[in-house]
Amino acid sequence: MSRDEATVEKYRHLFPAKHNPKLPFVGFQQVILKDKLSTATEEELRTIQECIDKRFEQETVLRHHPWEARKIDDTQSDIDLERQYVRE
């Protein structure tokens, strides 16, 4: 954030007066999302929810089956990926 002065200036009003320009990016995202969601349409909110649900499902699969992260294409079987993962 500290390198992108235009963005910091654009959203400065959302932060406390003594805002640290080196605020971690996740914190910055949360503030911007909170501001933007208050004006979102129903369609935008639905799209956001779908994105969150899809991402949650993907992360859940990777948590329970970490070898899935190595999958490049459909020619790789889950069994082979799991064996390779366990060997390493």
What does the pLDDT look like over 66-77, one tens digit per residue?
888 888 888 888
Show Cβ contacts of residue 85 under 8 Å, excluding neighbours closer than 6 positions: 66, 67, 70
Stretch 24-31: mean pLDDT, rounded?
Answer: 67
At 16 the pLDDT is 62
CB 8 within 8 A of CB 15: no
* Whether the model pTM is above 0.85: no
